Structure 1
């Protein structure tokens, strides 16, 4: 067993930042595949953890559907405004390190399951949003676009200013399909990668979770506090909070 792979049994508590930074130094085509755990240290609620929204709100997966949004818009928007339109949410070390790696020319893309837009706020430009962006909105009749600030100023159930149609968030709701173009771009990026870093996700949400199978010959790193089921194929597994870990790596790279 390699030193890197055996790191899982050691829980990588001492030298994990140095180990991952070494792999980053050796790579030139890095892809980051992230989930909710990337943003929890920024104060964004996690949906599927033991203490996440779905554990506390049993109907959450039923609320975030096209049918519920249409039939019970008041409840849909009350839920959406509470959990998806939070103010004062800022990027953490994970977001900033990835933006730095892009500037260094090492990062091919960030493939994210999150809809909070924090990667872009931190400076990343090559962001593939599998589930859309919760800060973007559009009219489902005339497709006029709206910002989060504009929707905040609207009535509780926002209506289009041009045609009075229903304004909805630009996210993939349950029972809706992923954007095929974004999915294909994500697959291509992962296939090209020489280092795939999977962070803040338990790899349980499909089809997104199945994307890591498209990696061909590169190294695989998993950074997640809970088991994912893919540890056996990883070159390095780290169970530390990703924001703190990546912040330490960022400091190493800027030293």
Structure 2
């Protein structure tokens, strides 16, 4: 498949499903999960902080780490890649679906609405007792840990940690969308984290076109119909006839 054929397939598609990863937000200055370990946190592996075991062992330390990440993403702004996907949603209407592995909330801030956040969101917390999900206070007034507005119990970061399952309803919705998609876009993800990475294969098995946008080859590259070797904003612009 050529770029022109990939562009034509995307333009003609009635159903488009998109999976995004950290590469989409890199252009907004948000480091990848593993590159976020700087300063005081450089002595920790992400796995030492993003797990139920770590939270049980030292909830204060885990909350301090997530509070810092929350401040960082709040100051970041959506980039052209986010905006192009929001435009594509408006163009495709009900035929569009976006699943993101990112927890920064930038897709929603760019205007995406047909969206599931498979790994959670840094700007919200979940009650340990009753499961209520609520937004965090503004970063400059936030002192962790937050308490539940419903039952008063302590809340944890609303993030899917190592060893936890993805939210069932979100994953089911994403799987259905990728099964039905005429075209799937896999943007800025390494394809190493399952089950999210397996969504591309759902479209491929159903006979759809699967297009990757990534400056580097990934574990999913051999299964792609076409790969655009560029950062998310320029790659999406090329596919959508904007570049």
TM exceeding 0.5: yes
CA drift of 1:244 comes to 3.2
Instruction: Give the distance between the partners of 2:133 and 2:176, measured in 1 at CA.
Output: 29
- Aligned pair partner of 1:177 in 154, 165, 168: 165
Secondary structure of residue in 2 paired with 1:44:
coil
Instruction: Give the distance between the partners of 2:44 and 2:215, measured in 1 at CA.
Output: 24
Within the alignment, does 1:32 sit opposite 2:15 as a pair? no
Query: Is the contact between residue 63 and residue 69 of structure 1 (CA under 8 Å) also seen in structure 2?
Result: yes
Secondary structure of residue in 2 paired with 1:138:
strand
- Aligned pair partner of 1:63 in 24, 46, 49: 49
Secondary structure of residue in 2 paired with 1:149:
coil
Instruction: In structure 2, list runs of 5 or more residues that go unmatched.
Output: none
CA drift of 1:79 comes to 1.3
CA drift of 1:74 comes to 2.1
Query: Is the contact between residue 83 and residue 111 of structure 2 (CA under 8 Å) also seen in structure 1?
Result: yes
Which residue of structure 2 aligns with residue 10 of structure 1?
Answer: none
Within the alignment, does 1:238 sit opposite 2:228 as a pair? yes
Which residue of structure 1 aligns with residue 198 of structure 2?
Answer: 210
- Aligned pair partner of 1:126 in 114, 120, 142: 114
Instruction: Give the distance between the partners of 2:15 and 2:157, measured in 1 at CA.
Output: 32
In 2 relative to 1, CA 161–27 (structure 1 residues): closer, same or farther, beyond 3 Å? Answer: closer
* Worse overlay, 94-103 or 58-67: 58-67
Aligned length: 236
Which residue of structure 1 aligns with residue 62 of structure 2?
Answer: 76
Which residue of structure 1 aligns with residue 144 of structure 2?
Answer: 156
* Worse overlay, 202-211 or 18-27: 18-27
CA drift of 1:246 comes to 2.9
Query: Is the contact between residue 213 and residue 236 of structure 2 (CA under 8 Å) also seen in structure 1?
Result: no
* Deviation sequence 1:79-127 (CA, Å, 0-9, x none): 1122233132111111111111111125520011111111111111110
- Aligned pair partner of 2:185 in 190, 197, 201: 197
- Aligned pair partner of 1:227 in 217, 222, 238: 217
- Aligned pair partner of 2:81 in 66, 84, 94: 94
Instruction: Give the distance between the partners of 1:144 and 1:186, measured in 2 at CA.
Output: 23
CA drift of 1:26 comes to 2.1
CA drift of 1:248 comes to 5.9
Instruction: Give the TM-score normalised by the residue count of structure 1.
Output: 0.82
Instruction: Give the distance between the partners of 2:168 and 2:24, measured in 1 at CA.
Output: 24
CA drift of 1:47 comes to 1.9
Query: Is the contact between residue 93 and residue 246 of structure 1 (CA under 8 Å) also seen in structure 2?
Result: no
